[in-house]
Chain A
């Protein structure tokens, strides 16, 4: 097992990976704590939640890459799994506010506002972190499994599948927008105070969350790499290229697709759960169809079917987004729109593809022609 994992990368690859991991976990906190604030190398406190947010997106991009880049199934509904994880974490954070809300009530503020007298049944258990973790680990996957089972069983694929998943996220968005659904409606869940007793305002908590996110991203990456390098991953790539031949060769593609679909949703849910405490809010607009499509473009920008490209793409697009929305908000949609067009027209392999063109390779990378 360990040997298999070690074989995922060459020595140089592992060296880089661990180098980055080390930099994120040790170097950044050290630069924050021990370097004086005037120094150029000082990392300010606000950077950690921001970087943490990008890393959560990177986990999402990994998830999308697994299902789209390797299996050729474009999902336009990954925002749902992200939000399920996020809402689960948000509910725990809401419960741990206790009686410190605006209305000083046992219930979350929005329920007091709606004049609800007691907690709805589906909020039970979110007082406990262990239960919340269980939900975060299981619910996105379970939901994906159910949805995927019915979709894949009737052999919905390609554009049809993309549209059905988009409708799914759209419908759930509408559902969560309702006040009566019991998840805070339009405003979602916010005003969190603490996680596991640690104040969310505290810089050290933020740093801690950041480090956890780095570790989760690292583990997700290794897991994804492990999956795509295994025999299972080969079958997935084959499904992407010519599904019918795989079926005729005796594989039940339903099981493979269902597995990777569920795994992808699981990663997405984790990302959502890490995202919420760092950003401080979760609301139904995370489930907008537009958000889920953006996830696909992160992967496309970085390069599909490369994993590293997905992480890179998520980072690049979101840094650009942060910059544009401050510097030239009117032109962000132009930039994003042209990014969609340019990448699909001229860069089918993404930015990784550009590097590949200049760096000669001895082995064939996973080709992305579908």
Chain B
């Protein structure tokens, strides 16, 4: 009872809240002393800089001033003070979320403008009881703001923030930041930030009058610049109406031309790397989609038209696991994906086994009918999911370790999710390979694939092998769905988008060997991505199809077919 009341009280005075809640807990009592020490030290520091702090506060208050010139001066001075604490307020001013309350307090509104935070105290305010107005800014103020924000960011201790600021400056560099950039360059130690700052400097100096500095700038751009610098360099090479160069100095022109050439070459290289990566990524998705298909096709000679729906079921299983985590284990949300791996595998595998037992088993030896029957199954599955989860796409969130990406080159980002999928595929393929090569089930599967009758004669229960293999193939499809849920939309028609491509993988790679599927999937993925920039996505797909038909002329059984002498193979 008492504690409750104190807590209630404490909640209203947030500064003591932290302190009190600790003192309630006996086990944490020993923490009090060091914390007290910190408080004392903090007091000393604040008393030293108390005059500066006052100026800082009054400047912050000035941000809400009616007069634009006062805002301008405040912004400028805040930039010069270099206190990063001003960043949120300045950013808010820039995005028109800074407001002045009736009492004259400066507050920051959140994006949906239903919450406000006091700039000075950090207190959360109830927005409904407030009357506020927003200070008005014009383009001049905005220019000052950009510079001030960049300055503050360049002072930041985090190298990522500094890099971001440098890149921001690169986008709209003006001679006004020249001194600032030069000053930060002197103290900058991080190479990436240095590079970016050098580029900012070069971009400004190339327009200047100093000949040596201009040539130096062009060389810097040649060294580090990306394709964004084409316009800057081309301006140097501009001609007037009579066809004469505006730039009289031939040395500057030559070095600019050379710079363009070397950037272009580098760009081609970067594009190739990016194509390769995205090709690999597409290929690994196709591989996950096609691997299960190839296994069942190789074993039973049955094309499972419902295989795409196994992907869909895997993706929806991921979705369900995610929702369960949101509901019951929100604090462990980011790890739902790990749990989803076995769940999506099992969900698809069970559906696959049921299909095999109930339908496909009865159609043995009639591959074309199986194809039609599995198509019917896929329709039923799609419609069931559509009626259960709705026809709209559902949202599957990336956990924190899969969001974002790594910037390999300037402007080329490899998302973590795609990198993880490639790793995941390597893991799955290795696991399947081990299963087929090292276990007794694998041995049985391989023998049934090679010669069903003979395997049966040797005492292998081909029916059981069929069932387990079908489950395995479907389960791998479910894993494919899990992977797809991390990079694309999850909807009832998810499987349809990949099914034709994964059939092509099987046709190209041949059946009976994992290597064939791997080669087929990666080949199609990479060729697709390299053709896309040249011919467009659709024509690229058609060219790939024509290539496959051409390849089949040479190797009718696919690239990696098992060799046999049977006439019907």
Contact = CB atoms under 8 A, between A and B. Distances in A.
Interface of A: 68, 72, 74, 150-151, 153-156, 158-160, 162-164, 166-168, 170-172, 174-175, 177-178, 244, 289, 293, 296-297, 300, 330, 333-334, 336-341, 343-345, 348, 370
Contacts of B536: 178
A74 B303 CA distance: 13
The interface centre, meaning the residue of B371, B382, B541, B552 with most chain A CB atoms within 10 A of its CB, is: B371
Nearest to B367: A159
15 contacts: A156-B552, A159-B368, A163-B503, A167-B504, A168-B545, A172-B542, A174-B541, A334-B383, A337-B383, A339-B376, A340-B376, A341-B376, A341-B377, A344-B369, A344-B376
B223 to A, nearest CB: 40
B120 interface: no
Given A170-B500, A175-B542, A345-B363, A293 B372 contact: yes
B552 A297 contact: no
Contacts of A167: 500, 503-504, 545, 548
Contacts of B549: 150-151, 164
Contact of A163 (B366, B379, B507): B507
Nearest to A163: B503
A167 B543 CA distance: 12
B42 interface: no
Contacts of B538: 174-175, 177-178
A158 B569 CA distance: 11
Given A244-B567, A337-B377, A296 B372 contact: yes
A336 B376 contact: yes
For the residues of B in contact with A, the DSSP-based class is helix
Contact of A150 (B303, B359, B553): B553
B431 interface: no
Contacts of A175: 538-539, 542
Given A150-B553, A345-B363, 4 more contacts: A158-B368, A167-B503, A337-B377, A337-B380
Given A156-B552, A160-B507, A178-B538, A297 B372 contact: yes
Contacts of A166: 500, 503
Lowest 6 CB-CB distances: which A-B pairs, in order? A340-B376, A337-B379, A337-B380, A333-B383, A344-B373, A344-B369
B362 interface: yes
B556 interface: yes
A339 B539 CA distance: 36
B371 A162 contact: yes
B568 interface: yes
Contacts of A336: 376, 379
Contacts of B297: 159
A164 B541 contact: no
Contacts of B380: 333-334, 337-338, 341
B230 interface: no
The interface centre, meaning the residue of B359, B369, B504 with most chain A CB atoms within 10 A of its CB, is: B369
Contacts of B362: 345
B528 to A, nearest CB: 12
Contacts of A296: 372
B523 interface: no
B363 A162 contact: no
For the residues of A in contact with B, the DSSP-based class is helix
B545 A344 contact: no
Contacts of A72: 368
B306 to A, nearest CB: 10
A370 B371 contact: no
A174 B541 CA distance: 9
B458 interface: no
B568 A341 contact: no
Contacts of A348: 369
Contacts of A163: 303, 503-504, 506-507
Interface string B321-361: 00000000000000000000000000000000000000100
The interface centre, meaning the residue of B301, B370, B375, B538 with most chain A CB atoms within 10 A of its CB, is: B375
A330 B387 contact: yes
The interface centre, meaning the residue of B376, B378, B387, B503 with most chain A CB atoms within 10 A of its CB, is: B376
Contacts of A370: 366, 368
Interface string B371-399: 11101111110110001000000000000
B552 A154 contact: yes
Contact of B371 (A153, A159, A170): A159
A337 B542 contact: no
A155 B536 CA distance: 31
A240 to B, nearest CB: 11
B368 A155 contact: no
Nearest to A172: B542
B373 A162 contact: no
Contacts of A68: 368
B382 A333 contact: yes
Contacts of B359: 341, 345
A369 B478 CA distance: 35
Nearest to B499: A289
